[in-house]
Amino acid sequence: MAKIAVIGGGLGGLSGAIRLAKMGHDVELFEKNDRLGGKMNEQRLGAYRFDAGPSLITMPFIIEELFDFAGVRRRDFIEFVAVEPICRYFFPDGSTFNAHADRRKMIDELRSFAPAQVHAFEKFMAYAKRIYDITTDVFVLHSIHELADLLTWRTAAKMVRIGQIDAFRTVHQAVSRFFQDKRLVQVFDRYPTYNGSDPFQAPATLNTIPYVEFGLGGFYIRGGLYRLVEALAQVAQGLGVTLQTSMPVEKILHREKKICGLQVNGTMRAFDALLCNADVVESFHTLIDDYTDVRDRLSAFEPSLSGMVFLWGVRRRFDRLAQHNIFFSENYEHEFRQIFADRTPPDDPTVYIAITSKADAEHAPADGENWFVLINMPYLTGEQNWAAAVEKTRGIVLSKLKRHGLEIRDVIEQEQVYTPKDFHRLYGSNKGSIYGISSNDRRMAFRRPANRCKRLAGLYFAGGSSHPGGGVPLVIQSGKIAAELIDKQMK
Ligand SMILES: Cc1cc2nc3c(=O)[nH]c(=O)nc-3n(C[C@H](O)[C@H](O)[C@H](O)COP(=O)(O)OP(=O)(O)OC[C@H]3O[C@@H](n4cnc5c(N)ncnc54)[C@H](O)[C@@H]3O)c2cc1C
């Protein structure tokens, strides 16, 4: 039995801690905040309850597998609810489109929205599934950095087909070859944002994401997504993990290219291995002395999108809205150029609104709704003025909603705002990024930090900034990959 510390209680850390405990190790988890979950967070404002981070669960089988591994039944802890429609899209020309994971409903919707595009959608889904089938084993379920993993028959067979993953076009280039209707191009261009990337730069390989959503479904968790954090904490404790909140790790201690322990909350502690769920780039800058070459290499990677979130307790109900809604910008390419090239808040942002009170009425008063409003934002450069950006963006969003017939200015009775600075402060994410490192560079699938640190023996990483990347299912999978590597090393 090895003594293992987990730094950070985000989903990647909790996933790793549960598995390591189940494998028989002595696991202690240190979280700097006073609550677990990291970016999967919850907020209460007056009579309103909000999920303040993720709002959509994809690839639920990855969560299912974690509960199975722990030896408990997922349905005893949380209930998945299919989101229907999966998203309601509002376009600047006033048209709306309901996207459904149910194929028959989606085809029916397309028949009335853009009948000429039904065949294009079928072809696009077949293409997206093909990419999913090739890439999931290689880039998501296993470590891409461990030779032993790459040499399994299953993975090697997929590697042979790697030329078919459309890595040389951008997402936008590929999507616009399938669809002629500009509105549908915008819908399918949206998916790289699920891992914080730019559709006009990221490789078309990310077109696997629409298959994940439409082919495998998108889910909500009854009571709010934060129920998942509570469930994982309970499972971890049941397996003997010591969960310590308000315990910031100050230093990762190492000697002769090997980790030896931690300085946590002013105390030195010895450990055999460390699973770091804190952002890799931040960790090399703030927790690990020396290794300046690693720090420099990591600093060169482009962070993912950040965001601005408005939590609005709205004292009115809007039947026109679904649980998940998108209000698109006029010019998506300009929006992303502002975000990634100019690194300024977009002047005509796409606005995402998730309302859990549509599914769980008790999340808002009977005559109200709990709006989680997310706008894509650039990562921190040190030059942006976020107080001014909040004021400006708030006005732009309210005017946009008004143009769509949603007048809410006078009915917002609760408000909380998160800017990229808050994401950095709260979760220690590199430059306030919300998904770790972006996939704008087509080589990133191979270059993203590995789950096993090659330079410091005994140090492992799980979370959005390490392999296989950001988003709920992927970080949970990263906890699995890291835990298996640690267990193998400790035997
Ligand atoms: C607004 C928003 C919306 C999102 N929407 C979705 C969505 O709909 N679907 C989806 O799949 N994903 C979504 N995501 C992304 C998803 O939330 C993240 O990818 C995922 O939760 C990150 O998990 P992680 O394991 O990387 O850990 P994190 O959540 O980054 O947690 C890391 C933890 O480490 C702690 N920590 C850092 N440094 C230290 C230290 N020195 N000592 C101790 N503890 C430390 C932090 O406090 C934090 O709790 C969203 C994210 C945000 C912010």
Both 482 and 453 in one domain: the answer is yes
**What's the CATH number where 485 sits?**
3.50.50.60
User: Regarding beta strands 273-276 and 459-461, do their DSSP bridges make them parallel or antiparallel, or are they unpaired?
Assistant: parallel
Cα 32 to averaged position of ligand 1 atoms, centre (Å) = 13
CA distance 301 to 44: 35
Q: Residue 341: give its domain's CATH number.
A: 3.30.519
Residue 150 confidence class, pLDDT cut points 50, 70, 90: low
Q: Is residue 87 part of a domain?
A: no
Q: Is there a domain that residue 23 lies in?
A: yes
Q: How far is the CA of 382 from the centre of ligand 1 (A)?
A: 21
- Residues forming beta bridges with residue 255, ordered by sequence position: 258
Mean pLDDT over 227-250 rounds to: 98
For ligand 1, the distance from its centroid to the CA atom of residue 359, given in whole angstroms, is 24
Domain edge (last residue) among 169, 199, 217? 217
Tell me whether residue 153 is exposed, middle or buried, using C-beta atoms within 10 angstroms of its C-beta: 0 to 12, 13 to 18, 19 or more.
exposed
Residues contacting ligand 1 via CB (< 6 Å): 7-13, 30-33, 38-40, 53-56, 248-249, 277-278, 287, 307, 309, 374, 423, 427-429, 434-435, 463-464, 470-472, 475
Domain assignment present for residue 95? The answer is no
| Residue 230, C-beta contacts closer than 8 angstroms, at least 6 positions apart | none
Mean pLDDT of the chain: 95
| 110 and 187 in a common domain | yes
User: 112 and 149: one domain?
Assistant: yes
Give me the amino acid identity at 36: L
Q: What is the pLDDT of residue 141?
A: 77
- Helix, strand or coil for residue 42? strand
Instruction: Examine the pLDDT at 140 and tell me if it is beyond 80.
Output: no
Size of the chain in residues: 491
57: pLDDT strictly greater than 70: yes
Residue 153 has pLDDT above 60, yes or no: no
pLDDT of residue 157: 64
DSSP E strands, 328-461:
351-355, 369-377, 412-418, 459-461
For residue 392, count other CB atoms closer than 10 A to its CB: 13
Q: Does one domain contain both 276 and 373?
A: no
> Which ligand 1 atom is at minimum distance from the Cα of 12?
25
Q: Average the pLDDT over 273-286 and give the result.
A: 98
- Helix or strand holding residue 103 (H, E): helix 103-113
> Mean pLDDT across the stretch 339-349?
98
Q: For residue 67, is it within any domain?
A: no
Q: What is the mean pLDDT of residues 436-465?
A: 92
Q: Check whether residue 309 and residue 352 sit in a common domain.
A: yes
∠ CA 136-110-190, rounded to 5°: 45
Residue with tokens 């330079």: 455
Q: Are residues 327 and 290 in the same domain?
A: no
Query: Cα–chain-centroid distance for residue 54?
Result: 7
Q: Do 311 and 413 meet the contact criterion of CB atoms below 8 Å apart?
A: no
pLDDT digits (tens, 9 = 90+) for 69-107: 999 999 999 999 999 999 999 999 999 999 999 999 999
Q: Is the dihedral of CA 290, 294, 300, 303 positive or negative?
A: negative
Is residue 277 assigned to a domain? yes
**Residue 362 and residue 223 in contact, taking contact as beta carbons nearer than 8 Å:** no
CA distance linking residue 96 with residue 64, whole number of Å: 34
Number of the ligand 1 atom closest to the C-alpha atom of 56: 8
Same domain? 212 vs 191: yes
Q: What is the mean pLDDT of residues 398-410?
A: 97
Written as six digits, the tokens of 328 are 């698109």
Out of 161, 192, 217, a domain closes at 217
CA of 11 to the centre of ligand 1 (A): 7
Q: What is the pLDDT of residue 160?
A: 61
Answer for the pair 432, 316: CB distance below 8 angstroms, yes or no: no
What percent of the chain clears pLDDT 70, i.e. is strictly above it?
Answer: 96
Residue 241 lies inside a defined structural domain of this protein: yes
Q: Do the domain assignments include residue 235?
A: yes
Token duo for residue 13: 């850390």
Residue with tokens 């993912």: 304
Nearest partner of 296 among 279, 306, 284, judged by Cα: 284
Give the domain extent around 166. Answer: 102-217
Question: Is residue 84 assigned to a domain?
Answer: no
Query: What pLDDT, on a 0 to 100 scale, did the predictor assign at position 105?
Result: 97
CA distance 82 to 220: 6
Is residue 184 located within the same domain as residue 151?
Answer: yes
What pLDDT shows up at residue 447? 84
Beta-carbon-side half-sphere exposure of residue 319 (alpha carbons within 13 Å): 0
Which residue, by CA, sits nearest to atom 32 of ligand 1? Answer: 10
Among 184, 217, 250, identify where a domain stops: 217
What is the percent of the chain with per-residue pLDDT over 90, rounded to a whole number?
91
Residue 156 pLDDT greater than 90, yes or no: no
Q: On the CB side of 469, how many CA atoms lie within 13 Å of its CA?
A: 26
SS (H, E, C) 474-488: HHHHHHHHHHHHHHH
**Å from CA of 74 to ligand 1 middle:** 22
Residue 19, judged by CB atoms within 10 A of its CB (0-12, 13-18, 19+), counts as buried
Ranges 153-157, 171-175, 289-293, 385-389: which has the least confidence: 153-157
Q: Is the pLDDT of residue 249 over 90?
A: yes
What is the tally of structural domains in the chain? 3
Q: Is the pTM of this model over 0.85?
A: yes
Interatomic CA distance for residues 431 and 284, integer angstroms: 14
Instruction: Read off the amino acid at residue 237.
Output: Q
Q: Which atom of ligand 1 is nearest to the CA of 286?
A: 41
Q: Are residues 324 and 414 in the same domain?
A: yes
Model confidence at 143: pLDDT above 80: no
pLDDT at 409 over 60: yes
Rounded-to-integer distance, Cα 20 and Cα 30, Å: 15
Same domain, 459 and 474: yes
Q: Using CA positions, which residue lies closest to atom 4 of ligand 1?
A: 54
300 Cα to the center of ligand 1, angstroms = 21
pLDDT tier at 442, thresholds 50, 70, 90: confident
The pLDDT of residue 81 is 98
Give the relative orientation of helices 171-178 and 118-135 as an angle to the nearest 10 degrees: 140
Co-location of 295 and 384 in the same domain: no
Cα distance between residue 409 and residue 396, in whole Å: 12
Residues 294 and 309 in one domain: no
